[in-house]
A = this chain, B = another copy of it.
Amino acid sequence: MKPRRFITLLLVLGTVGLLSPLSIHSVRSQTASGLALDGFTLRGSISQRSREEQFRAVPGADSAREHLRRLTAEPHVAGTKEDYATAVYVRDQIRTYGIPAELKEYDVLLPYPKQPSVVEIVGRRRERLSVKEAVVPEDSTSSSSKIIPLFNGYSPSGDVTAPVVYVNYGLPPDYEALKKLGVDVKGKIAIARYGNSFRGVKAKVAEENGAIGLIIYSDPSDDGYMQGDVYPIGPWRPESSAQRGSVQYLFQYPGDPLTPGKPSIPGVARLKIEEATDLTRIPVQPISYGDARRLLEPMRGPVRPRGFQGGLPFAYHVGGTDDLRVHLKVEMDYQIRKIWNVVARIEGNEGRDRWVIMGNHRDAWTFGAVDPNSGTTAMLEAARGFGQLLKNGWKPRRTILLCSWDGEEYGLIGSTEWAEEYADELREKGVAYLNMDAAVSGANFGASSVPSMWKLIRGATRDIRDPKTGKSVYQQWQDRSRESRPEAELTDAQTGSDVDIAEARIGALGSGSDYTPFLQHLGIPSLDMGFGGDYGVYHSAYDSFHWMTRFGDPTFAYHVAAAQLWGTVAMRLADAHGLPFDYVDYGAQIKEFFTESVKTARRRNLSAVFDGKGMSEAIENFAREAGRVEKSRQETVLEVERTRVEANDSYRRAEARLKLINDALLGTERALTDVRGLRGRPWYRHQIYAPGFYTGYAAQPLPDFRQALEDRSAGNAKEALDRIVAAMKRATEVLSKARD
């Protein structure tokens, strides 16, 4: 009750015009911790909060459980009839909530295994590895005959026999360490462990180093017994389990490999498979650590370099000798197959041409209880909540789209093809893209986003209850981040007092889920979030309903929290008068990225080759303009509120000014893209965020500039920074249009 009374008082003061411009800031800072919502008038905040409460009362554990049970009843790999059945389920569920929803189909290149791969030790006698996940009696779905064999998506077919070299994580420094030992993988089969990067990177680096095949296994130190008890006793990966997954060169371009930059629809020309630049040419195969042990233990050659040792109980050797030869045979069936997105639409009121897009993929390597159908479940429960609001008469200011993507596992295919098909419209109308992939595998909230949405995310998490602790999701997130920091960081060495903990950190968007086409191809502000935990069954047959009920979210309370949070963020974006995007944070983040890069450049004697001063100025100008817009946005929202009742010229002027501001905020992210694309990968257009060539899932901020520094290329560094500066100037120019 207390906070509400407080806000009412402010509202009264505000509406009778007693708030001078000078007091705006203090109102804001008082109400920020109270009930006012960023971008809403004070009156609007109150009705929005009431509507949000109605919304958040809808998602429920029982229906979430039922959605997940239905979605995970069978394996539903992209393009299969079981996958189609989930599309129909999602579409029909959303329709029952009173929201129009349609299937949207694409014909794309998808390989399935023709038959299980062969991995065998070739010696005096042949010893074949099982390459199969064991049945776990208490997890009934683990015995399903429809579980797809262990394979890597977009591995070519291949049949090779050669000595094996253990390449650790299979990244460039690993091959350098091997070179120092005099070990070469040329003409050999590499065996790498999963982790530290996207598996497609491992394939690319193996290929670059001349390997003729690649085996990837899950080391027990990464997600097996070294992390905790293994399934079904605990949530971690058991001995026979392996990680499926795509080895597409995602860092080149995602989507259908045959239609880069264009939608896979009738009439669009397709490349030949040989022409696709995002596919590896060597066979790649995942195996379990039970199988890997049989390869690694008999290996000879030098003892592994520092950092190569994993969790199997012997000293790893790098191999490469004739003592151990392996036969690897992968047979794939490459076909053009149909996939099915589901797109649902809640029409906006004043801003029907402004789209707030919620997205989650639906296809899974097996049952996908965590990845991705915990997210699908959250989307359905959020849709149910929206449906309830619609029945109560709600009409959002802006249009909300709910998208259930297909083919994400192969390479973000459903989202990419759709984004490519509607690219022009999306560039014009896209407000934000809100992603949830593996929404729930535990209780620990985490998020990545563009900096303009940091405050929005933090604000929303303050209003969602964390089921386990009863605190807010935000508080639990903060407490955890505090616990993980050493005493020395938490107290000021000069004063002995507690250090003000910075807000919980929100990461940078790299790749590995469906935000990539929206942010990095189109320049639409994006976020990705979810609740994580001890999750060792990723892309295995045990990512099942049973696993979820035993470990991930037995009560389904976090599925409910995910639905509440996702919907709340979407509603704030859809309903806010002034879009809650803060480009001051964005400027500060770019400055931090640049400072970090300059340090690298100095270490490499490259700091003289680029125009650092120009960049610093560009950042400063951007930040100044962003501050101006931010102030103007706050003021104009209040002005709208103050003048609304009169509905006179002042009101119309304020509304017009707010439209200008909103359009500028919308265009700013777009301006950070460059139509020429990044060096060597024109599909990626964003000048601030992209996955690195070698970082895999992780972002490499200021991508071309950083890459040039990595490559120690003075010319590239200069050109890259010039383009970034140009993007910053464009963005500043767009922001300046908010001035009237």
Please, what's the 1-or-0 string for A490-516, where 1 marks a CB less than 8 Å from any CB in chain B? Answer: 011111100000000000000000000
Complex interface: chain B residues within 8 A of A693 (CB): none
Q: What are 29 residue pairs bridging A and B, where the CB atoms are less than 8 Å apart in the complex?
A: A220-B313, A225-B313, A225-B315, A226-B309, A227-B309, A228-B303, A229-B303, A229-B315, A230-B315, A234-B303, A236-B315, A311-B313, A312-B313, A313-B313, A487-B603, A488-B599, A488-B603, A491-B602, A491-B603, A492-B602, A493-B599, A493-B602, A496-B601, A496-B602, A496-B603, A496-B604, A496-B605, A496-B606, A496-B607
Most chain B beta-carbon neighbours within 10 Å: one of A229, A602, A603: A603
Interface residues of A in 602-644 (CB under 8 A from B): 602-607
Whether the pair B602, A314 counts as a contact (CB closer than 8 A) is no
Please, what's the 1-or-0 string for A251-270, where 1 marks a CB less than 8 Å from any CB in chain B? Answer: 00000000000000000000
Interface residues of A in 312-349 (CB under 8 A from B): 312-315
Nearest CB of chain B from residue A454's CB, rounded to whole Å: 27
Query: How far apart sit A309 and B226, CA to CA, in the bound complex (Å)?
Result: 7
The copy count of this chain in the complex is 2
A-side interface mostly: loop
Complex interface: chain B residues within 8 A of A604 (CB): 496
**Which 4 residue pairs are nearest across A and B when measured between Cβ atoms?**
A496-B602, A491-B603, A313-B313, A493-B599
Nearest CB of chain B from residue A79's CB, rounded to whole Å: 37
Query: How far apart sit A229 and B317, CA to CA, in the bound complex (Å)?
Result: 9
Nearest CB of chain B from residue A533's CB, rounded to whole Å: 14
Query: How far apart sit A303 and B603, CA to CA, in the bound complex (Å)?
Result: 44
Query: How far apart sit A230 and B599, CA to CA, in the bound complex (Å)?
Result: 42
Complex interface: chain B residues within 8 A of A492 (CB): 602
Question: Across the two chains, which residue of chain B brings its CB closest to A293?
Answer: B313
Query: How far apart sit A607 and B603, CA to CA, in the bound complex (Å)?
Result: 38
Nearest CB of chain B from residue A173's CB, rounded to whole Å: 12
Nearest CB of chain B from residue A710's CB, rounded to whole Å: 12
Nearest CB of chain B from residue A121's CB, rounded to whole Å: 21
Query: How far apart sit A624 and B496, CA to CA, in the bound complex (Å)?
Result: 30
Nearest CB of chain B from residue A652's CB, rounded to whole Å: 54
Complex interface: chain B residues within 8 A of A228 (CB): 303, 315
Whether the pair A602, B303 counts as a contact (CB closer than 8 A) is no
Nearest CB of chain B from residue A282's CB, rounded to whole Å: 31
Query: How far apart sit A220 and B226, CA to CA, in the bound complex (Å)?
Result: 13
Nearest CB of chain B from residue A593's CB, rounded to whole Å: 15
Interface residues of A in 271-315 (CB under 8 A from B): 303, 309, 311-315
Complex interface: chain B residues within 8 A of A602 (CB): 491-496
Most chain B beta-carbon neighbours within 10 Å: one of A226, A227, A494, A599: A226
Please, what's the 1-or-0 string for A23-55, where 1 marks a CB less than 8 Å from any CB in chain B? Answer: 000000000000000000000000000000000
Query: How far apart sit A691 and B700, CA to CA, in the bound complex (Å)?
Result: 46
